[in-house]
């Protein structure tokens, strides 16, 4: 039996991604400790991501994990990566029981009602400006307030740095939400 995990980091505006001239679509902050947390959770498992998140990875595929990429384009190919055309197809290709949906916004929105666990890093403050093109995950916090309970919450002593500035923003918590089982 597989466990479906969603892992996400968002700032106070619900922003999860930004478009920059230098990097294209990317994370709006630098936070090595959160990346280390991401790596520690997902290593040895299957990661499933959208094609835009795949494009945004500086080094690909993510090592030590089975990488599955969702795309509706038939022609994309890359060594050691499986490209699939549907979420059902991705789940059929997964060869580990721990499955991690790692973004981006389109994938989170579609899979949110079906996951077992949510691993959420909250960054306090806004990391982008209104004129920037961003990806947000607006419904996320609302969704978290319904039918979910916090299993573990960890307050964190480290910070993230916005790509826009050298301002340090507190990383408020990493928490695990588990679905409340209804009888």
Ligand X SMILES: NC(=O)c1ccc[n+]([C@@H]2O[C@H](COP(=O)([O-])OP(=O)(O)OC[C@H]3O[C@@H](n4cnc5c(N)ncnc54)[C@H](OP(=O)(O)O)[C@@H]3O)[C@@H](O)[C@H]2O)c1
Residues of this chain that bind ligand X (CB under 6 A): 8-9, 16-17, 25-27, 49-53, 56, 70-73, 85-87, 102-107, 110, 135
CB 159 within 8 A of CB 169: yes
Residues in the chain: 183
Residues contacting residue 160 through CB under 8 Å, at least 6 positions apart: 29, 30, 31, 34, 123, 127, 168, 169, 171
- Enter the DSSP assignment of 108: H
The two three-digit tokens of residue 53, written as one number: 């998140």
CB of 183 to ligand X, least distance (A): 31
CB of 20 to ligand X, least distance (A): 9
CB of 155 to ligand X, least distance (A): 19
Task: Rank residues 35 and 150 by Cβ distance to ligand X and give the closer one.
Answer: 35
The two three-digit tokens of residue 115, written as one number: 């996951």
Task: Rank residues 106 and 132 by Cβ distance to ligand X and give the closer one.
Answer: 106
Task: Rank residues 27 and 99 by Cβ distance to ligand X and give the closer one.
Answer: 27
Task: Rank residues 12 and 180 by Cβ distance to ligand X and give the closer one.
Answer: 12
């Amino acid at each position: 039996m597989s466990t479906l995990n969603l892992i996400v980091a968002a700032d106070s505006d619900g922003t999860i991604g930004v478009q920059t001239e230098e990097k294209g679509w990317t994370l709006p902050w630098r936070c090595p400790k959160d990346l280390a947390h991401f790596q520690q959770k997902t290593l040895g498992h299957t990661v499933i991501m959208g094609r835009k998140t795949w494009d945004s990875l500086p080094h690909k595929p993510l090592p030590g994990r089975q990488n599955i990429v969702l795309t509706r384009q038939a022609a994309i190919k890359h060594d050691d990566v499986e490209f699939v055309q549907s979420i059902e197809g991705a789940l059929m290709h997964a060869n580990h029981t721990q499955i991690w949906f790692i973004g981006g916004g389109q994938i989170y929105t579609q899979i949110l009602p079906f996951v077992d666990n949510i691993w959420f890093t909250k960054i306090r403050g806004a990391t982008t400006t209104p004129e920037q093109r961003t990806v947000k995950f607006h419904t996320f916090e609302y969704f978290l307030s319904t039918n979910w309970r916090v299993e573990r919450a960890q307050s964190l002593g480290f910070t993230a740095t916005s790509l826009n500035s050298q301002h340090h923003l507190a990383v408020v918590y990493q928490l695990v939400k588990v679905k409340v089982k209804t009888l």
